[in-house]
Copies of this chain bind each other. A is one copy, B any other.
Amino acid sequence: MNSFDFHNPTKILFGVGKLEQLGEQVAACGSKTVLLVYGGGSIKKTGLYDRVLTQLADAGVRTVELPGVEPNPRVTTVRKGIELCRAEGVDLILAVGGGSVIDAAKAVAVGVPYEGDVWDFLMRKAKITAALPLGTVLTLSATGSEMNGNAVITNWEEKLKKSFGSIYAYPQFSILDPTLTYTVPADQTVNGIVDMMSHVFEQYFSLTPDTPLQERLCESILQTIIENGEQALADPEQYEARANLMLCGTYALNGGMISVGVQTDWATHAIEHEVSAIYDIAHAAGLSVLFPNWMKYVYRSRPDRFVQFAVRVWNIDPAGKSEEEIALTGIQATRDYFTRIGAPARLADLGIGDSEIGRMAKEAVKFGPIGSFKVLHEEDVKAILQLSL
């Protein structure tokens, strides 16, 4: 196990009816003017928008709105939010939505006190040293953004998708009511499942020795997602399946709690960001295509970890199989599960051909080689993308 620091100050309010505590949470932040950040308007159809406004009115705060955050949130939208905050004297950001909405809200929060352009943080040209306080109401189980300090933002003009992470970007509070995910369509539920499983993969496949607790925690989350994912798809209003998925999504990426002292990988995320920066596909659709191919490309770095994955996560019977066979069976089980829940297996399924592979591979390693389980250079990224066509 490596040395580490861990600090996750986000307060979670989880369960049916927790939305009714939104007003008091906002009041506890001492807020007078809130920026309400949301997406394409589904929260208006479901009635959540009205419920949130009632809570904010009861808390006696003025509300300014930033609607229309995109599924791959754009820096242009973030800049609009920052201007709004400065013009209106906003003192609290409230994100109501999934990971994209929360990520955009985080970028607004860190951008307001910064004199330069917020994109500097994404290009690692400046360090985040302050932020407006942030609260969230989660409507989609997926990214874990509700309990961490990370955000992914797209610069559509430059075809770039980059991320930042900062202790200042952790939400002060996050309201997690599983019933708010009942209306999430099947395809987005699938995306959420793939996304949270991918977050665990990035932390589980590691060369760091002697991390049994972290490995067991990762396996715990994967097992629970696998069981509850199919239940939630079969019966979208089954509370327990939705609640278990929601908790898994949060724990899968809550500041690295399950991978403290572990060197994590994140190469597959880096590659996917280049795909969705160009093609504007759902992040999880790209991950579903790429991850089993990344696994096939890298498993020889440490076959025993893939054997453990096969046996402990997928219940593969190792009897009579070679290490390689067990590892490959586990990887195939991952692909089969993704296929069973309706996630794509090939870039072709997303209408993507080989024309941009060179550009994506080059951009993925722009800041240097990626990954740690196997360090990937431009040629490796190209090979994984070729495998994924």
Contacts and interface: CB of A to CB of B under 8 A. Distances in A.
Nearest to A173: B7
Given A1-B247, A12-B260, 4 more contacts: A5-B11, A209-B240, A213-B224, A216-B224
Interface stretch (A15-23, A338-346, A355-363): A15-23
A244 interface: yes
Q: How many copies of this chain does one complex carry?
A: 2
A358 B188 CA distance: 60
A221 B214 CA distance: 9
Given A3-B16, A216-B220, A247 B260 contact: yes
A294 interface: no
Interface string A1-32: 11111111111111111100000000000000
Residues of A in contact with B, size category? 35 or more
A267 to B, nearest CB: 25
Given A213-B220, A224-B216, A248-B213, A5 B14 contact: yes
A223 interface: yes
Interface of A: 1-18, 209-210, 212-213, 216-217, 219-221, 223-224, 227-228, 240, 243-244, 247-248, 251, 257, 260-261
Nearest to A167: B11
List the 7 shortest-distance A-B pairs measured between CB atoms, nearest first.
A3-B15, A216-B220, A7-B11, A210-B240, A213-B224, A6-B12, A9-B9
Contacts of A15: 1-4, 261
